[in-house]
Amino acid sequence: MKLTVLVDNNTLIDRYFLGEPGLCYLIEEGGRKILFDSGYSDVFIRNAHKMKIRLTDIDAVVISHGHSDHTGGLPHLMTMFTEEELEGRSVSRPELICHPDTFMTKLTREGYDIGSPVKEDKLSMHFSMRLTRDPLWITESLVFLGEVPRLNSFESQRPIGRDDYVMDDSAIAWKSDAGLVIITGCSHSGICNIAERAKAVCGEDRIRAIIGGFHLLNPSKEQLEGTLQCLVESKPEKVYAGHCTDLKSKLALAKHLNIKEVGVGLILNYEE
């Protein structure tokens, strides 16, 4: 399994890519190319072009949840498909995999829309839609986790905006002979809840790595301590905390976990 970071809040030092407060990964596994989230804008396309990565032949797009920093790139992807077709070049019609609530309207407390800029009816013109609350195996080893049960008392207790508990928030897990690689978007459902969901779906307790957003932004003492205890007990070999994880949280996690740098341009390769 190969994972390339196309969008993150940060870029790797001495690599001249673009960063933005969003997330997008390209995952290559089992002969398939999967785009995980799409960032906030067309930055993922521009970074992919600079990395000489072709996105017109992707097999699937997986959306972790419906907020605009993860879905904002979808209109740009659709435009790219259309332009390629008009130029007479072949373009795939990838699957779009996500929770059924992903494209519902999502409002801030002030009434501003922070949901996807494009809705399901338009997306269905470019993608084969696969909306599910249940786990869905994308390849023999890579699985979309579906709706994540909220099992503990310290995560995902407060709504985002107007009573939105982001029940559509999900993640991906890759199962290998040496354990799991868990790939998250924002972890609104809780990074510990996601880890437990991945273990249950895959029938595997060992975690090789966790990469993605942990949604630890000025967390309460209870949440930070609970998250730390949970992750220490899970014993992940490496932790790539990016996107929506603040410095205070990274420093706290780094005292007990093997925290690694993550940014645009990072490439992770895993053997079975």
Q: What pTM was estimated for this model as a whole?
A: 0.97
Residue 60 scores a pLDDT above 90: yes
Instruction: Assess whether pLDDT exceeds 90 at residue 158.
Output: no
pLDDT of residue 208: 98
Tell me what pLDDT residue 162 has: 85
In this predicted structure, what is the pLDDT of residue 271? 86
Q: What is the mean pLDDT of residues 226-233?
A: 97
Distance CA 101, CA 132 (A): 9
Percentage of residues in the chain with pLDDT exceeding 90? Answer: 91
**What is residue 100's predicted lDDT score, i.e. its pLDDT?**
98
Q: What is the pLDDT of residue 90?
A: 83
Task: Flag whether pLDDT at 219 surpasses 80.
Answer: yes
**Domains located in the chain, CATH noted:** 2-269 (3.60.15.10)
Residue with tokens 């673009």: 18
pLDDT, position 169: 98
Q: In this structure, are residues 20 and 70 in contact, taking their beta carbons and an 8 Å threshold? A: no
Residue 221 backbone dihedrals phi, psi, to 5 degrees: -60, -40
**Segment 112-137, tens digit of pLDDT:** 999 999 999 999 999 999 999 999 99
- pLDDT bin (cut points 50, 70, 90) of residue 41 is very high
In this predicted structure, what is the pLDDT of residue 14? Answer: 82
Average pLDDT rounded to a whole number, residues 245-254: 96
Which residue in 37, 46, 48, 99 sits closest to 71, CA to CA?
A: 37
Position 80 pLDDT exceeds 80:
yes
Quick one: what percent of the chain has pLDDT higher than 70?
A: 100
**What is the per-residue pLDDT for 15?**
82
Reported confidence tier of residue 165, pLDDT bands at 50, 70, 90? very high
SS3 59: coil
| pLDDT surpasses 90 at 156 | no
Looking at residue 40, its pLDDT comes to 98
Edge-to-edge strand ranges of the sheet holding 60-62: 128-131, 95-98, 60-62, 32-36, 24-29, 2-7, 267-269
Asked if pLDDT for residue 3 goes beyond 80, the answer is: yes
